A and B are shown apart, each in its own frame.
Chain A
Amino acid sequence: MGLSLGWHIVFACLGVGFPALILIAEWRGIHGDADAMRLARTWAKVAGVLFAVGAVSGTILSFEMGILWPRLMGEFGAVFGLPFALEGFAFFIEAIFLGIYLHAWDRLSPMRHLASGIPVAIAGVASAFFVVTANSWMNDPQGFTMVNGRVTDPQPLVAMFNKATPVETIHMILAAFMVTGFLVASVYAAGRLRGRSDRYHRVGLILPLIVATVITPAQIVVGDIAAREVADNQPIKLAAMEGIGATEAGAGEHIGGIFINGQLQFAIVLPHVLAFLAKGDPNATVVGLDSVPAADRPQAVTLIHLSFDTMVGIGFLLLGLGIWMLVRWIRRRGPPTSRWFLRAALVAGPGAVVAMECGWITTEVGRQPWIVYNVMRTSDAVNPAPGLYWGLVVLVIVYTGLTAVTLFVLRRIKKANVNADVNANANVSV
C-alpha cells in the first residue's frame, strides 16, 4: 500500500499542478506566443499519458483500501468515506473535461478550448483537497464516538474538517505545484544544457520555474505551521521527526544523525531552537518518545527523522534557487542563463520529488504504529486472508514495470517532438 501510494502521489501531483501550467502556456499561446502554444500542445500530450497512468494507479488505491485494510474501511468507512465520494465527483469532472481538452483541439474555438481546461485544473485541486482530508483525519481522528470498541455516531463533516485538515491539504496542494513546476523545468534545463537554447526551451524552463519558485516561500511558511500543528496534536510524531528520545525542556534542533538505543547520535544540535520553533518559547518542554509505551512508538525513528530533515533541507535549497533567479533577474533584467544555474534547475525537479516523498514518509511512517492515530493500529486493520503476500509481490512487479515503461514513452514523445522540430526548421530553411 505504501508503495502504491508513494508511486501514485507523483502522478497525482502532476495531475493537480500540470493543468494550470498547461493553461498558462495556452493562454500565452492564444495571445500570439507561438512557442508557448507549442509547449501547451506538447505538455497536453504528456499530460494525457500521465493522467491515464494516474487514473488507473488511483483506482488501484481504492481497491487496496479494501484488499489490504478491510477493517479500517469496515469500521470507519461511515466516518471518513465521504471525502472519497466527493473526490469521486471531482475525478469525474477532471476525466470528462480532460477528455474534451485533449481530444477537441479541432472541435472548439481557441478560447473555448482554453475554457474546457479550467474545470480540469479546478477539479484536480479539489480532488487533492478531498483525499488529503481523509489522510488528515487519520492523523487527527474526529467525528465519531467509540462505544465498546464499535464506532457510533459518525459525523462525516466533523471528520473531514479536523484540526490537521487546513495545513495538511494546503501543504500537499502547494507541494503538487512545486513538484510539477520544478519537474517540468528540469526537463528543459536538461535540453538547454545539451545546447538547445532556442526560445522554446527558454520559455519551457522559465515558465514552470517561476510558478514553482513563487510557491516555495509560501510552502515553507505552511510547512512551519504544519510542524507546530503536529507538535500540538501528535507529539510522538514530532519527537520521531526530531529524534527526541527523552522529554526535555528547551529542546535543541537536531540535524542529521542516527537513532540508536533511544537517543540520537552524531547529530548537529542547535540548542533551544526546536523548543522555540515548535512552541514559540526557547525553554518550552518538548515531549520525547519515552513518554509513551514502546508499543505506541514508531519503530523507524532514524528514517522518519532523516526524511523530515531531507524535506526541510531541500525546501530551503529550492528557496535558494528562487532567490538566485530573482537576484539575477533584477540585476541583469532577464532570467539567469549560466550553466551552473541550469544544472541547479536540472536537479531541482528530482529534488522536489524527493522532498515530497520524504514529507509523505514523515507523516505516514511517523504515525505508526497507528493507522488511525491513537484509535486503530495498522496491524489490526490488515486483511488476514491467506496468500495476500503474493498479491503484493505481483503488484510490486507491475509498478516497477509500469514506471520503466512510462519513462520510456515520455522520452519517445520528447524525441518525436524534437524530430518534428528539426523537420520544421529544415522546412523553413528550404
Chain B
Amino acid sequence: MLANVVLGFLWGGITAYVLLAGADFGAGFWDLLAGSATGGVDKRRRIAESIGPVWEANHVWLIFALVVTWTGFPSVFAAIASTLYIPLTAVAIGIILRGSAFAFRGAVTGLSLQRPFGAAFAASSVVTPFFLGTVAGAIASGRVPLGIAQGNVISSWLNPTSILGGALAVEVSAYLAAVYLTRDCQRDNERGLALYFRRRALVMGVITGLTALLGIVVLHSDASRLFTGLTHRGLPLVLASVVFGSLSLVLLVLQRFVAIRITAALAVIAVLWAWGLAQYPDVLAGEVTVSSAAAPDQTLLFLVVSLSIGSAILIPSLVLLYSLFQSAPAKPSQLSSR
C-alpha cells in the first residue's frame, strides 16, 4: 500500500518534470531553430524571458524523482543507474551544458559571446531529452534487469523502443514549449511571435502524432509486453491522449491559447500514465514489481510523511512562482537598467 503511494508521488513528479522541464528543453529546441543570430533575436529573447525565472525550479523535479527512487526503490535505482550509465552520463553532461550555458548567456553582453553559449544551450536542450527518452525506452521494453550492471550497457538503450522514446521526448518537449510560448506571446501582445510559435506548435503536434502512430508498429515488434499493456489496460488512456491531442490541434487553429495549454498537457499526461498503467505493477518491466522492489515499510512511512509535508510547502510556493511570472510584467523600473 505504502509502496503504491510512493510510486504515485514518483510518477507524479516525473509527470511534472515532463510537462514543465520538458517544455524548457523544448524552448531550447526552438532556440536552436530560431534562425540567424540577428534574425532570431526576438524569438530567443522571448524564450529566455519565459524560461528564465522557472527553469531551475522545474529542473528540481528530476532530482525529486531520483531521490524518491533511491529511497523508496533502492534496488531499482541501482539497476537503472548501473546498466544505463552511458545515456545517463550523456544526460548529466547535457544538463550541465544546458543550465550553465543558459545562465552564462544571460550574464554576458555582446553577440560574439552570447552565440557560443546560446548554441551550447540549444544543442544540449535537444540531446538531454533524447537520452532521457532512451532511458525510458530501456525500462519500458524490459531491458534493465534487476541487479548491478546486469543489462547490456549498449543495446539496453540503443534499440527501437529507446530510439522511439528519445524521439518522442524531443518532440513532446518541443510541442509543449511551442504551445506554452504561444500563450506567453499572446499575453504580452506579441502578435507576430504568437503566430510564429503557433505554426510551430501545429507542425510539431502533427509530427508527434505521426511518431506515436509509428510507435505502435515499433512496440508491437520490439516490446510486446508493453504493446499488450497499452492495448488492453492502458487503452482508455491511449485513446484519451488521441482525443486530447486532436482537440489541441483544433484549438490551435482556433487560437484558443489558454485552453490548448490544458489539452496539450492532458494529452501528454495520458501517454505517460498509459505507459505506467500498462507496466503496473512492474517497476522494471518484466523484472520486479512495486511491492517487491520497495524499501521496507519504516522507510516508506517516513518518506510518505516527508513527501506530504514537503508538498504542503512546495505547492503554494510553486503557485506563487508561476502566478507571479504569468501575470503581465510590471513597467520596467529604472533599477533594472543597471
Contact B324 A104, beta carbon cutoff 8 Å: yes
What secondary structure prevails in chain A residues at the interface with B? helix
CA distance A41 to B72 in the complex (A): 41
Known: A63-B66, A82-B302, A100-B321. A91 touches B92 (CB 8 A): no
Contact B100 A402, beta carbon cutoff 8 Å: yes
Contact A78 B299, beta carbon cutoff 8 Å: yes
Contact B153 A387, beta carbon cutoff 8 Å: yes
Contact B104 A398, beta carbon cutoff 8 Å: no
Contact A67 B82, beta carbon cutoff 8 Å: yes
Size of interface on B: residues with Cβ below 8 Å to A: 76
Residues of A with C-beta under 8 A to B310: 85-86, 88-89, 92
CA distance A105 to B338 in the complex (A): 12
CA distance A41 to B79 in the complex (A): 46
Taking CB atoms and an 8 Å cut-off, the chain A residues in 390-417 that contact chain B are 391, 394-395, 398, 402, 405-406, 409, 412-413, 416
Contact B302 A157, beta carbon cutoff 8 Å: yes
Residues of B with C-beta under 8 A to A89: 306, 310, 313-314
CA distance A58 to B99 in the complex (A): 12
Closest residue on chain A to residue B321 by CB atoms: A96
CA distance A268 to B285 in the complex (A): 62
Is the CB of A75 closer than 8 A to any CB of chain B? yes
CA distance A153 to B296 in the complex (A): 7
Q: B53, B82, B99, B327: which contacts A52 (Cβ < 8 A)?
A: B99
Contact A154 B85, beta carbon cutoff 8 Å: no
Is the CB of A376 closer than 8 A to any CB of chain B? no
Chain B window 85-111, contacts with chain A (Cβ cutoff 8 Å), 1 for yes, 0 for no? 110110111011111101110111100
Closest residue on chain B to residue A91 by CB atoms: B60
Contact A100 B335, beta carbon cutoff 8 Å: no
Known: A89-B313, A412-B107. A103 touches B325 (CB 8 A): yes
Closest residue on chain A to residue B146 by CB atoms: A74
Contact A70 B64, beta carbon cutoff 8 Å: no
CA distance A412 to B73 in the complex (A): 45
Is the CB of B38 closer than 8 A to any CB of chain A? no
Contact A385 B85, beta carbon cutoff 8 Å: yes
Is the CB of A60 closer than 8 A to any CB of chain B? yes
Taking CB atoms and an 8 Å cut-off, the chain A residues in 31-89 that contact chain B are 38, 41, 45, 48-49, 51-53, 55-60, 62-67, 70-71, 73-79, 81-82, 84-89
Contact B148 A63, beta carbon cutoff 8 Å: no
Residues of B with C-beta under 8 A to A97: 317, 321
Residues of A with C-beta under 8 A to B59: 55-56, 59, 95
Contact B53 A75, beta carbon cutoff 8 Å: no
CA distance A65 to B78 in the complex (A): 9
Closest residue on chain B to residue A93 by CB atoms: B317
Contact B79 A74, beta carbon cutoff 8 Å: yes
Residues of A with C-beta under 8 A to B336: 105-106
Is the CB of A271 closer than 8 A to any CB of chain B? no
Number of A-B contacts (CB under 8 A): 251
What secondary structure prevails in chain B residues at the interface with A? helix
Contact B67 A81, beta carbon cutoff 8 Å: yes
Is the CB of B75 closer than 8 A to any CB of chain A? yes
Is the CB of B202 closer than 8 A to any CB of chain A? no
Is the CB of B63 closer than 8 A to any CB of chain A? yes
Contact A82 B79, beta carbon cutoff 8 Å: no
Contact A99 B313, beta carbon cutoff 8 Å: no
Contact B329 A106, beta carbon cutoff 8 Å: yes
Q: B56, B88, B97: which contacts A99 (Cβ < 8 A)?
A: B56
Closest residue on chain B to residue A64 by CB atoms: B92
Contact A88 B148, beta carbon cutoff 8 Å: no
CA distance A156 to B66 in the complex (A): 17
Is the CB of B253 closer than 8 A to any CB of chain A? no
Contact B330 A106, beta carbon cutoff 8 Å: yes
Is the CB of A388 closer than 8 A to any CB of chain B? yes
Residues of B with C-beta under 8 A to A402: 96, 100
Is the CB of A247 closer than 8 A to any CB of chain B? no
Contact B153 A386, beta carbon cutoff 8 Å: yes
Residues of A with C-beta under 8 A to B104: 49, 405-406, 409
CA distance A23 to B175 in the complex (A): 39
Closest residue on chain A to residue B108 by CB atoms: A412
Is the CB of B307 closer than 8 A to any CB of chain A? yes
Contact A49 B107, beta carbon cutoff 8 Å: yes
Most B C-beta atoms less than 10 A away, residue of A45, A77, A156, A406: A77
CA distance A365 to B37 in the complex (A): 48
Contact B78 A406, beta carbon cutoff 8 Å: no
Closest residue on chain A to residue B67 by CB atoms: A84
Contact A385 B299, beta carbon cutoff 8 Å: no
Contact B60 A100, beta carbon cutoff 8 Å: no
Nearest CB on A from B288, distance (A): 12
Residues of A with C-beta under 8 A to B85: 67, 383, 385, 388, 391
Closest residue on chain B to residue A87 by CB atoms: B67
Is the CB of B149 closer than 8 A to any CB of chain A? yes
Closest residue on chain B to residue A89 by CB atoms: B310
Taking CB atoms and an 8 Å cut-off, the chain A residues in 234-291 that contact chain B are none
Contact B107 A92, beta carbon cutoff 8 Å: no
Is the CB of A420 closer than 8 A to any CB of chain B? yes
Residues of A with C-beta under 8 A to B321: 96-97, 99-100
Residues of A within 8 A of B (CB): 38, 41, 45, 48-49, 51-53, 55-60, 62-67, 70-71, 73-79, 81-82, 84-89, 91-93, 95-100, 102-107, 119, 152-157, 383-388, 391, 394-395, 398, 402, 405-406, 409, 412-413, 416, 420
Q: A82-B302, A91-B60 are in contact. List 16 more A-B contacts (CB 8 A).
A: A56-B96, A62-B63, A62-B67, A66-B66, A66-B82, A66-B88, A67-B85, A75-B74, A77-B78, A88-B67, A100-B53, A106-B336, A154-B298, A156-B298, A402-B100, A405-B100
A-B pairs with lowest CB-CB distance, top 4: A66-B81, A77-B74, A81-B71, A74-B78
Query: Could you list 15 examples of A-B contacts with CB < 8 Å?
Result: A53-B103, A66-B66, A66-B82, A67-B89, A71-B148, A77-B73, A78-B71, A84-B71, A87-B67, A96-B57, A100-B321, A106-B331, A153-B298, A383-B82, A406-B104
